[in-house]
A and B are shown apart, each in its own frame.
Chain A
Amino acid sequence: MTTNASLTAHDSGLRRLLGRFPFLPALFILAVLLILNGIFEPNSLSFRSLTGLVRTYMALMLLAVAQTYVVYAADIDLSVGAIASLVNVTIIVLMQHMGGGGLSVLAALGVGVLVGLACGLVNGFVVAALRLQAIVATFATSIFFTGLALVILPVAGMPAPTVFWRTYGGSFFGIPFVFYAAATLAILLYLLARTRLATQLLAVGDGQQAAFQSGLPVTAIRIGGYALCGVFAALAAFCITGDTASGDPLVGAKMTLFSVAAVVLGGSALSGGFGTVAGSVIAALIIGLINSLVFFAGTPSHWQNFVQGLAILAALMVGVLVSRRGRA
């Protein structure tokens, strides 16, 4: 009897904690993976390796964040990868044309953000204003954006200006650039979480009819979500460009579904109304760590995809089990 009572008290505590911080299971998995990485390859926990990890997976983190904002409103964006590709080739070509100096890089980045925003607005218009099914409509726009990217840069390989990738891979005052970027991202996400739009997106995700009846401008809010998504996809493209130092019209395609997986792994509900961007960021790191673990564990190369898939499934299951326990 007493043990039972304390058990329920414990459960309801867990439940409250999970309600406030739905990304706790993801954080737990992240810790486990870090330890496992350390066991298989002690070197993988060195400052250098961790910097490398963040540098490589910064793009996925940003794409996961982008995806989270549309998932908030129970929508989905299957074109985030294509948007990232389009922005990647756009800025590469622009920087090349303008000579690759510091100013031209900044100008290209500005244009890149605008391209991302425009793509997001197109998605938002198609899904929210024309009322097409999000999953199919954004699949269609992804083909369209990829087509544009192929027109701008038909073959992969145009290099980025030196100043660009040197900055992304470099250090300032002894701290790697990506950590400044990560800190800026954290502040940005914190501010965005406090905006009216974030709450409104979640309210729309909870029930479109109810949100409409409450007087919320549902169409505008959903378009806003897609616009935010487009901008973050553009930021992700900057990181891809910094990491690969070249243009590739198909570079983002394979990342789209990883971003969806990260959103779910981070504790957000695909049905909308519930989730956090922090969870998505952590989950993107989890996916990165799984990849590096598979590598460090010495998996034969032809088995790597197989093991990677299994590991992601296992991570998803742990997350689901913990949240279900908290909800019961």
Chain B
Amino acid sequence: MTKLKLSGVSKAYGATLALRRGDLELDSGEVHVLIGANGSGKSTLCKIVAGSVRPDAGEVLLDGRAVTVSGPRAAQALGIGIFYQELSLADHRSVAENICLPDLPRQNGLFIDRTALRAEAERYIALFETVAGAALQADTIVGDLRADQRQLVEIMKALATEAPILIFDEPTSALDRAQVDRFFEILRDLKSKGRSIVFISHRMDEIFAIGDRVTVIRDGETVGTTTISETSPDAVIHMMVGEQETLATPQAAPPIHAPSTDIALKVEGLTGAGFHEVSFAVGRGEILGLGGLHGQGQSAILKALFGAVAPRSGEVKLAGERLRIDSPRSAIAQGLAYVSGDRGRDGVISGRPILENVTPIHALRNRLLLARPGRLAEKALPALKALNTKFAGLSHSIGSLSGGNQQKIVIARWLIDKPDILLLDDPTKGIDLSAKADLFALIRELAAEGLAIVLYSSEDAELLNNADRILVFNGGSVSRELSGAERTRYNLYQAAYEAA
């Protein structure tokens, strides 16, 4: 039975046509996957359904009747709940307040019913109890949580609407495998209760694991819908890219470098908040992968190496010399680069033009006193092109870009002046399949030029396909090192789940 039907929905932002012709048919009791390249219009379509964007044209039918969704509040009243790709959380409020924010329980009409609030929030927190980590409690301040935990809170917030139609716009981009598995269990349960679910992800395996049907969007237009069981990843990719069938398939394993003798970065007994006694070395031209479940210290180490959080003890040597890491500023000056997948917090300079977002590192490293937009644009454009970034103009605000394209801007920043060490902290969050392939091709190229690269990824395939060596983290320290033929999905999985 068709629950929700969109036909010919469109939306333009000035000259940018975000959605040309969006069609979607959502049945009761199904998980309907939306897939498409970065900037193809998926989020726009979701926001239209959720009422936070008004469509220019087109029709929305709910239970067969035409409706106008005049705002997020109206959408909630119509029974539509949504997970926003860029999250809709209030950083200074508690987890419980965030989960219940759309409809805070009241007592005596005026006051917040704290007991009911807590009880309500705890119902949803309990759903993820086993995978969320100890810090995620009802009264934790959301700003203190890790990226994946905040994403879980946004999921809980969407679930708490108890809406018959639930939209999840890239809910899994920062989640690890255990968290995704738990989330999928919940989705299956909701599905069996007849709820309709829209699910967006750039991870092909997830789509085939959870989806019933898939609708492909290309350049703002719905290309078609097929049943998952009757299609294959290849066929979906073909629909996504259309004529330009140049999508590089990730190679099974990269050429294995002989362990480089030319050590670029050496870490000895590094201890800090979230990790202890970690030692490793990365050679020039090597891609070192960090694996394991979320929050086992991988991100914390990368942040410490970049000087964003001070480590407690231990030593870091850069090309044999002891590195003084006290601030990102000095780390950058000494040739380090850091890309965070948590772009909202660590990457994007929000509200500022694209040009300003691409060039700050260039300006810092070259001590530019005056910004000459023409000159800067000459530097910025090749970097943006290398990542196939889709944007209307350098002077447009970064907020006008799709999530994945924003992430490309954050990466492009480091490509203007090449660093010596590249620290990648789940860098592909929100980036589509073909761009991901391009990005990793580029990363390998950089490695071939002699850069030392440390890559943390929450997606196993990325590590297996790209890292020369993988350090598996468990409970804040390295539990296993996988190199050469040991780099298999099985070994990775096993090492990650091993009791520490």
Question: A19 to chain B: which residues have CB within 8 Å?
Answer: 141
In the complex, the chain B residue whose C-beta lies closest to that of A213 is B88
Q: Is the CB of B93 within 8 A of A213?
A: no
Q: Is A8 engaged at the interface, CB distance under 8 Å to the other chain?
A: yes
- In angstroms, Cα B345 to Cα A207, docked, is 13
Q: Is B170 engaged at the interface, CB distance under 8 Å to the other chain?
A: no
- Distance (whole angstroms) from the CB of A289 to the closest CB of chain B: 29
- In angstroms, Cα B113 to Cα A199, docked, is 12
User: Known: A196-B106, A199-B93. Contact between A213 and B312, CB under 8 A?
Assistant: no
Q: Is the CB of A195 within 8 A of B110?
A: yes
Q: Is B104 engaged at the interface, CB distance under 8 Å to the other chain?
A: yes
- In angstroms, Cα B366 to Cα A75, docked, is 38
Q: Is the CB of A191 within 8 A of B72?
A: no
Q: Is A194 engaged at the interface, CB distance under 8 Å to the other chain?
A: yes
Q: Is the CB of B112 within 8 A of A194?
A: yes
Contact with B along A186-220 (1 / 0, CB 8 A): 00000100111001101100110111111111000
Contact with A along B109-120 (1 / 0, CB 8 A): 011101000000
Main SS of chain B's interface residues? Answer: mixed
In the complex, the chain B residue whose C-beta lies closest to that of A274 is B92
Q: Indicate the size class of the contact surface on chain A.
A: 20 to 34
- Distance (whole angstroms) from the CB of B148 to the closest CB of chain A: 18
- In angstroms, Cα B89 to Cα A4, docked, is 34
Which residues between 76 and 97 of chain B lie within 8 Å of chain A, taking CB atoms? Answer: 76, 82, 84, 87-93, 97
Q: Is B102 engaged at the interface, CB distance under 8 Å to the other chain?
A: yes
Neighbour of A203 across the interface among B73, B76, B93, B106, CB < 8 A: B93
Question: A200 to chain B: which residues have CB within 8 Å?
Answer: 104
Q: Is the CB of A215 within 8 A of B93?
A: no
- In angstroms, Cα B90 to Cα A210, docked, is 7
Q: Is the CB of B112 within 8 A of A273?
A: no
- In angstroms, Cα B47 to Cα A210, docked, is 12
- In angstroms, Cα B269 to Cα A1, docked, is 13
Q: Is the CB of A210 within 8 A of B312?
A: no
Which residues between 1 and 31 of chain A lie within 8 Å of chain B, taking CB atoms? Answer: 1, 4-5, 8, 19
- Distance (whole angstroms) from the CB of B217 to the closest CB of chain A: 21
Neighbour of A211 across the interface among B76, B90, B312, CB < 8 A: B90
Neighbour of B102 across the interface among A4, A207, A209, A216, CB < 8 A: A216
Q: Is the CB of A217 within 8 A of B84?
A: no
Q: Is the CB of A199 within 8 A of B72?
A: no
Q: Is the CB of B112 within 8 A of A203?
A: no
Question: A202 to chain B: which residues have CB within 8 Å?
Answer: 90, 92-93
- In angstroms, Cα B382 to Cα A247, docked, is 68
Main SS of chain A's interface residues? Answer: helix
Q: Is the CB of B90 within 8 A of A215?
A: no
- In angstroms, Cα B157 to Cα A78, docked, is 36
Question: A196 to chain B: which residues have CB within 8 Å?
Answer: 104, 106, 110-112
- In angstroms, Cα B87 to Cα A210, docked, is 7
- In angstroms, Cα B391 to Cα A205, docked, is 30
- Distance (whole angstroms) from the CB of A207 to the closest CB of chain B: 6
- In angstroms, Cα B102 to Cα A203, docked, is 11
In the complex, the chain A residue whose C-beta lies closest to that of B105 is A196
Q: Residues of A at under 8 Å CB distance from B?
A: 1, 4-5, 8, 19, 191, 194-196, 199-200, 202-203, 206-207, 209-217, 273-274
Q: Residues of B at under 8 Å CB distance from A?
A: 50, 52, 71-73, 75-76, 82, 84, 87-93, 97, 101-104, 106, 110-112, 114, 141, 157, 273, 312-313
Known contacts A195-B112, A196-B106, A202-B92, then 16 further A-B pairs from the complex at CB < 8 Å, ordered by chain A residue: A191-B111, A194-B111, A196-B110, A196-B112, A199-B97, A199-B104, A203-B97, A203-B101, A206-B90, A207-B88, A210-B87, A213-B50, A214-B101, A214-B102, A215-B102, A273-B93
28 sampled A-B residue pairs with Cβ under 8 A: A4-B312, A19-B141, A195-B111, A195-B112, A196-B104, A196-B106, A196-B110, A199-B112, A202-B90, A202-B92, A203-B97, A206-B93, A209-B88, A210-B84, A210-B89, A211-B90, A213-B50, A213-B52, A213-B88, A214-B72, A214-B88, A214-B101, A214-B102, A215-B71, A215-B73, A216-B73, A273-B90, A273-B92
Counting from the closest, the 8 A-B pairs by CB-CB distance are A206-B90, A210-B88, A215-B72, A215-B102, A213-B88, A203-B90, A215-B73, A273-B92
